[in-house]
Amino acid sequence: MPTSVTMPRLGESVTEGTVTRWLKQEGERVEADEPLLEVSTDKVDTEIPSPAAGVLTRIVVGEDETADVGSELAVISGDGEEAAAPAPEKQAEPEPEPEPAALDTPSTEKPVEEEAPAPQTAAPTGGGEGTAVKMPALGESVTEGTVTRWLKQVGDTIEVDEPLLEVSTDKVDTEIPSPVAGTVLEIKVQEDETADVGADLAIIGAAGAAPASAPAEEKPAPAPAPQQQAAPKIESAPAPDFAPSGESYADPAPEAETAKDPVAAEAKAEPPAPSQPRVEQASPNGAGDAGYVTPLVRKLAADKGVDLSTLTGTGVGGRIRKQDVTDAADKAAAAKAAPAPAAAAPAAAKAPAPKPEASPLRGRTEKLTRTRAVIARRMVESLQISAQLTTVVEVDVTKIAQLRNKAKADFLQKNGVKLSYLPFFALAAVEALRQHPVVNSSIDQEAGTVTYHDAEHLGMAVDTPKGLIVPVIKDAGDLNLAGLAKRIADVADRTRNNKIGPDEISGGTFTLTNTGSRGALFDTPIINQPQVGILGTGAVVKRAVVITDPELGEIIVPRSMVYLALSYDHRIVDGADAARFLVTMKERLEAGHFEGDLGIA
């Protein structure tokens, strides 16, 4: 009986998804839970596994096309229907009937439960004696989560705090670690299924509690599956259907496709070797033998020019993570730069200036990701909703620079984070917000009201591979300099590594964006609605400045200077209000009275 592959619900507020890439083509064999396609929404990019084993007989939704949640994406024939796979005309007649019926999804789930999960749940008999893994509360407003991928299967051993599964909500995607060490006895919630907070997801028993489950799962795989897979895979390998889908993701996918030919040839010449077909299944992911690679990691590798097939993943099961790609790119850059100092010493004047490497994105046209599309829409909406303009002041932070140089070593040892200029700016901002609540407000023009917030919830703009994300430091006005430094470092690190909680990216009352971290002197940031103000901090640079000396009069000396740019909503904040706010910050920073926060007498 054919199995329908439907668009899963990747979050409570997500109603549709875009197919970015098919990892299998029509006529190819696919195993249960093997990655079948990649889907992108405005909150997450993920791979969708196959709900059943069989042959992909028909693709309904093509690449770059959008489909509603629950709609049919493809059709997979059962094991006994492999011979009829090349004739999709016979299956095309009964398929239109389930589409309008809302009961199509349950009917297709029954064969999946009978063919794939049945051996997993039947093997462990002592599941009730183990420890239950429950759906955690991923934020105050989150009541449920969707299991997107199990990193361990029934019979696998796992250590304490080792990632067990991946869960998606409408605001965040995260990995759930195992609460205990042992063996996975039972999986209660399958992939793409949603469970309430506190519901049991799996059962983990003592180490070695279910040793018989592993061979029980492997028995059906090597016997009939490899022999039946060999013929269709060898026929589909040279077909041109797979190449176009890989071209939009740079070089890794075509390399993986060519790698399949010698393996398939060996499988045909040496049928007794059962391990070779499993290597072939990992290749379409674009990472050679590395297996599962997320679209985010693949895009990062393409941007940095890293060949995924050359990497050894440090994640669970050898998965390649973002850090692996970043480390490889850093090593490659260091290797190119290493011989330069040695060669430059004897003949520095003769050596020509090295040409910068061209970006791999040069000359390419790509479809906007859902995240980038959402950012674009919200930025335009912000400009359309509010009357925005920017006021800039120049601040002398020489005293802060001297204090920072004096205390940064002890600060790092005591607090575990580096002392940058940003915590000083953040502290001055939240203190100024208390004195000028109009900048820390929100306006409802339809209701004709303005709300002056009684707390300073500071948003911090963070640059990530997926785009700009703004986590919020709640009650930032209650923190001292060290507390702000630690919270800023913490939320920035967790945001870049996709570990930030859903409630930590909402509820801000004012935003701070450090455009100077990339050398910009200042810019005109766009307000993060429904806030009425956002402060951009420029780069701290040394310039010749005219100051008044009590004895020498006006003299020109080098000083550490910075520009502070405040974009504000002129519907509620006037230019004088913005100037008063910035002058308050300027006076606080130039006074430089932070010795008490730094432990300096």
Q: Which amino acid is at 284?
A: P
Nearest partner of 558 among 569, 570, 548, 547, judged by Cα? 547
Q: Domain total for the chain?
A: 4
User: What confidence tier does 171 reach under pLDDT thresholds 50, 70, 90?
Assistant: low
8 A C-beta contact, residue 475 and residue 457: yes
pLDDT at 79: 61
Look at 40 and 121; give whichever has higher pLDDT: 40
Stretch 48-64: mean pLDDT, rounded? 88
Stretch 373-384: mean pLDDT, rounded? 90
Residues 307 and 428 in one domain: no
pLDDT at 537: 96
Residues 4 and 102 in one domain: yes
Q: Which are the catalytic amino acids?
A: 570, 574
Q: Which residues lie below 8 Å from residue 76, measured CB to CB, with a gap of 6+? A: 2, 3, 4, 5, 30, 50, 51, 52, 54, 55, 56, 57
Where does a domain end: 218, 234, 257?
Answer: 218
**What is the rounded CA–CA span in Å between residue 100 and residue 106?**
14
Which pTM was predicted?
0.48
The secondary structure element, H or E, covering residue 67 is: strand 66-68
**What is the rounded CA–CA span in Å between residue 498 and residue 148?**
15
pLDDT at 111: 41
Where does a domain end: 344, 367, 390?
Answer: 367
User: What confidence tier does 387 reach under pLDDT thresholds 50, 70, 90?
Assistant: very high
Where does a domain end: 318, 335, 367?
Answer: 367
pLDDT at 433: 97
Please, what's the b/e burial string for 369-397 (b: 16 or more CB within 10 A of its CB; e: otherwise)?
bbbeeebeeeeeebeeebebebbbbebbb
In a domain, 232, yes or no: no
In a domain, 244, yes or no: no
Residues 501 and 555 in one domain: yes
Stretch 264-292: mean pLDDT, rounded? 43
Q: Give the range of the structural domain holding residue 208, as residue numbers without chain letter.
A: 122-218
pLDDT at 474: 94
Neighbours of 116 (CB within 10 A): 18
Residues 496 and 560 in one domain: yes
pLDDT at 321: 76
Q: DSSP code of 531? A: B
In a domain, 240, yes or no: no
Residues 103 and 159 in one domain: no
pLDDT exceeds cutoff 70 at 66: yes
Highest mean pLDDT among 88-102, 126-140, 215-229: 126-140
Stretch 364-374: mean pLDDT, rounded? 82
In a domain, 225, yes or no: no
Look at 544 and 180; give whichever has higher pLDDT: 544
**What is the rounded CA–CA span in Å between residue 324 and residue 393?**
42
User: What confidence tier does 112 reach under pLDDT thresholds 50, 70, 90?
Assistant: very low
pLDDT in tens, 514-538: 998 888 999 999 999 999 999 999 9
Residues 536 and 414 in one domain: yes
pLDDT at 332: 84
Residue 410, domain CATH: 3.30.559.10
pLDDT at 526: 96
pLDDT in tens, 234-263: 334 333 333 333 333 344 433 434 344 444
Residues 473 and 568 in one domain: yes
The chain-wide mean pLDDT, for the chain, equals 76
pLDDT at 348: 53
The secondary structure element, H or E, covering residue 247 is: helix 242-247
pLDDT at 59: 93
pLDDT at 596: 85
In a domain, 62, yes or no: yes
8 A C-beta contact, residue 560 and residue 540: yes
pLDDT in tens, 184-227: 989 999 987 888 888 899 998 887 665 444 344 444 444 444 44
pLDDT at 440: 96
**What is the rounded CA–CA span in Å between residue 255 and residue 436?**
59
Residues 96 and 130 in one domain: no
pLDDT at 117: 40
Residue 97, domain CATH: 2.40.50.100
pLDDT at 455: 94
Residues 449 and 304 in one domain: no
In a domain, 289, yes or no: yes
In a domain, 233, yes or no: no
Residues 458 and 583 in one domain: yes
Residues 45 and 182 in one domain: no
Residues 316 and 462 in one domain: no
pLDDT in tens, 294-334: 666 777 888 888 888 888 877 656 778 778 888 888 888 87
pLDDT in tens, 541-557: 999 999 988 888 999 99
In a domain, 234, yes or no: no
**What is the rounded CA–CA span in Å between residue 232 and residue 81?**
13
